Each structure stands twice: as C-alpha cells, then as structure tokens.
Amino acid sequence: MEEVTVEEQQPQAAVEAAQSAASAQELQPTQASAPAVVDLGPALAEARSVLQERDASLAEVRGVLAQRDVELQTLRHQLVSATAHYRQALLAAAPEIPEELVSGNSPEEVEASMARARQMVERIRSRIEAQIAEQRLPTGAPIRSVPDISCLSAQEKIAYALLQQRGVSTLTHCPSPFAKREGDQERFGGTSPGTSAHSASLRAGSGETLSGLSQRAGLPRYGAWSRSCHRR
C-alpha cells in the first residue's frame, strides 16, 4: 500500500478550497436576484381617484345629452306645428287646391308639394276647358235659361232648394217674373192660358211638385205663390 505524503496532500487541499470558493460565488448572485417587495397602496389610491374623476365627467356629459334630447324633441314639436299652420295658410290662400294634394314634414316640403298641386290643378283645368270648347253649342242654338226665383218668398225659395237637393236637375215649368195670373194660380214658363192649376205647379224630372214638397215641409201651399209674382 502506497503512503500519501504531506506534500501530496497540500495541492489537493488547495483544489478543494478553490472549488468551495467558486460555489460560494455562484450562490451569491442567485440570492441577490430575489425580487424585493414593493408597496402598491399609493399607486392604487391614485388610480381610484382618476377613475372617480372620469365617472363624474361622464355623468355630467350624460346630463348634458339628456337636456339636449329634451330640447330637440321640443324643436321637433314646434316644427310640426309650424308646418301644419303654414300648410293651412297656403290652402286658405288657394281654395282651388285640394287638401289631399298638399303634404310635407317641413315648410320646404309643403311648398314643393303645393307647387306640384298647382301644376296638377292647372293641367286638369286646361283639359276641362278644352273639353268645354269642343262641346260648345253651334251659333244660333237656343240657350238653356236658369229658372228665375227672384219673385218667390223666402219660404218658397227654401222649398225650391229642398226640391233641388232631392236630385232634381230638369224643370218642366220654371218660375218667371213675367208670369200671368190665371184665377188664384200663377202660371210659369210659357204654358197656355187653358192649362190647369196642376200643370201650372212647378214640376221636376222626378215628378215631385213644389206644392207637395211645401206641404210636407210645413211651408205655405203653392197657391200662395200667386201673390208673389207679378208682371214687371
């Protein structure tokens, strides 16, 4: 067995000491790199304060928007009312324009609609006038005269109007201010002197007489008309 001398043991001890020193140096950086504990309390408090300020600003903006919405609704109602009044004024100034032809949600739209309605009415009027011109009677043809009711009393005119409202369009005997008296009856519209009192009554295409209508309406009988018309 070989014996280890003291000289051989010294270098080996130096190597072990160097290895121990190196291990100690490796452990020191590891311990120094451990994170330090940081106090986040002040930073959190500041962040909460900023959030509260933003919430307050947002609430203020929402209040302003709500107020603007109310004002906008009020303006809309005022616009609708003003447009309706403007439309009524235009229709009152142009009674020949049908109300159904004029519409719009603003004064500008109402004006444009009124312009289109005027053009339509003018076109229809031109067509009607052209049709009337085509249907004119030839020269020398007899002209249909309108019955003269100026000699009738107020009650008799009412009876005459009621007769027209029943749809009467043609009269076989028309009252005339130049009618002649025959007994207690008054003859109208060119009947011969021998015509009876019944034929002297004012008749219409429906067969209704003014005398019968006057009785049902509670007005004086037709015989009373003989005192209304006289030769002028």
Confidence class of residue 165 from pLDDT cuts 50, 70 and 90?
A: low
pLDDT at 60: 92
Confidence class of residue 128 from pLDDT cuts 50, 70 and 90?
A: confident
Domain boundaries, the chain: 49-134, 154-191+200-227
Q: What is the pTM of this model?
A: 0.38
How do residues 12-70 score in pLDDT, each as one tens digit?
A: 666 676 666 666 665 555 444 555 667 778 888 888 889 999 999 999 999 999 999 99
Q: Is the pLDDT of residue 139 over 60?
A: yes
Q: What does the alpha-carbon distance between residue 192 and residue 179 come to, in Å, rounded to a whole number?
A: 11
Q: In the Cβ-directed half-sphere of 98, how many Cα atoms lie within 13 Å?
A: 7
Instruction: Give one DSSP letter per residue of 19-57, joined into a string.
Output: HHHHHHHHHHHHHHTSPPP---HHHHHHHHHHHHHHHHH
pLDDT at 196: 39
Q: Is the pLDDT of residue 164 over 80?
A: no
How do residues 99-117 score in pLDDT, each as one tens digit?
A: 998 999 999 999 999 999 9
Q: Which residues contact 190 (CB under 8 A, 6 or more apart)?
A: 176
Helix axis angle, 107-134 relative to 41-93, nearest 10°?
Answer: 20
Confidence class of residue 130 from pLDDT cuts 50, 70 and 90?
A: confident
